């Protein structure tokens, strides 16, 4: 075998790359720093993320993916090229085959953009697969049996909810409410309640360290610093978990509603299987405190967080690559 197969979880927040035979070899933020004057790429991934909100005027840190799809084609291509070159698969091997994931409801134009970006960054043949299906496989679900499996994949840009059976999606819904929206909710809440401006990275840190979506389930506080909107000077405040639950309530209820919609459209035989097997949550949002408790309360079925929820899609691409020759091929 002369070419390496690689699977890419092209996420709004992070890019994970799985190389056949090696596992996950790369996990970096989907951020690119560019010099506006020369249009030159200065940094990609973690190095670029450190620059978010901290750069001089001529340098911008761009996140080229928005809501799970490509918002800036050239920057996405540059980012993919950088990551694939970093793996150093060329020379000894021919061009790799690439399996890449996308949300369930993207348009054919958006699919074409993802495919072209992967081809231009060095892929020989590019396969596209739907994210919740790959996440379910990565979470260890056997979706190829004639029984119902439900997955809620909460990423950075989108939340994909799907019921799977016989290796395919039976019912699904994708909404643009996920980690990025949670960060923005926290940012806006602090701006409104405390007249304090904070950055995206601070909002994300609050979400991870003291955030919760289930009332009264966490009682922690955290000191945060930002710029006072009245005086324009730096100021420190203390914020509590209960406030974050309040800030996230509206967005999280949209995810719950989406899960309910999918269950309502599910055939009764498969609904019965879901009561037995439960729902699996994957993606970074699965790590948000109280998400499983909230879904158990609202859906009235067992809910489990996948092992390594952030890696599920990348692991799933790897498992699908093993069977790529036997599968009927890409869906596009």
Residues of each annotated binding site for ATP: 12-14, 156-158, 204-207, 284-287
Whole-number Å distance between alpha carbons of 178 and 261: 17
Q: How far is CA 132 from CA 45, 146, 202, 272, 323, in A?
A: 24, 17, 29, 20, 18
Residue length of the chain:
332
Whole-number Å distance between alpha carbons of 65 and 85: 20
Please give the annotated binding residues, written as ranges.
12-14, 156-158, 204-207, 284-287
Whole-number Å distance between alpha carbons of 146 and 151: 16
DSSP string, 130-170: EHHHHHHHHTT--TTSSS-EEEEEE-SS-EEEEEEETTEEE
Whole-number Å distance between alpha carbons of 191 and 289: 23
């Amino acid at each position: 075998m002369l070419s390496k197969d690689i699977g890419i979880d092209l996420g709004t927040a992070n890019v994970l790359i799985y190389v056949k035979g090696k596992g996950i070899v790369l996990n970096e933020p989907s951020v690119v720093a560019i010099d506006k004057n020369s249009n030159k790429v200065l940094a990609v991934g973690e190095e670029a993320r450190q620059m978010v909100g901290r750069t001089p005027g001529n340098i911008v840190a761009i996140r080229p993916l928005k809501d799970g799809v490509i918002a800036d084609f050239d920057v996405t291509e540059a980012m993919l090229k950088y990551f694939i070159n970093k793996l150093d698969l060329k020379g000894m091997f021919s061009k790799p085959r690439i399996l890449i994931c996308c949300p369930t409801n993207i348009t054919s134009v958006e699919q074409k953009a993802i495919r072209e970006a992967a081809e231009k960054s060095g892929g020989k043949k590019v396969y596209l697969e739907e994210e919740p299906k790959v996440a379910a496989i990565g979470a260890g679900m056997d979706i190829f049996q004639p029984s119902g499996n439900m997955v809620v994949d909460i990423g950075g840009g989108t939340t994909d909810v799907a019921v799977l059976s016989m290796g395919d999606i039976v019912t699904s819904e994708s909404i643009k409410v996920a980690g990025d929206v949670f960060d923005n909710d926290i940012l806006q809440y602090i701006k409104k309640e405390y007249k304090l401006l904070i950055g995206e990275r601070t909002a994300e840190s609050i979400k991870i360290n003291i955030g919760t979506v289930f009332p009264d389930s966490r009682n922690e506080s955290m000191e945060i610093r930002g710029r006072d909107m009245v005086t324009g000077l730096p100021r420190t405040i203390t914020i509590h978990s209960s406030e974050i639950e309040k800030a996230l309530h509206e967005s999280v209820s949209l995810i719950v509603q989406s899960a309910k919609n999918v269950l309502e459209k599910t055939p009764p035989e498969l609904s019965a299987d879901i009561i037995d097997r439960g729902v699996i949550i994957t993606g970074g949002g699965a790590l948000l405190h109280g998400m499983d408790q909230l879904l158990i309360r609202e859906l009235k079925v067992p809910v489990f967080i996948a092992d390594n929820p952030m890696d599920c899609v990348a692991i799933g691409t790897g498992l699908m690559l093993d069977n790529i020759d036997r599968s009927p091929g890409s869906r596009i």
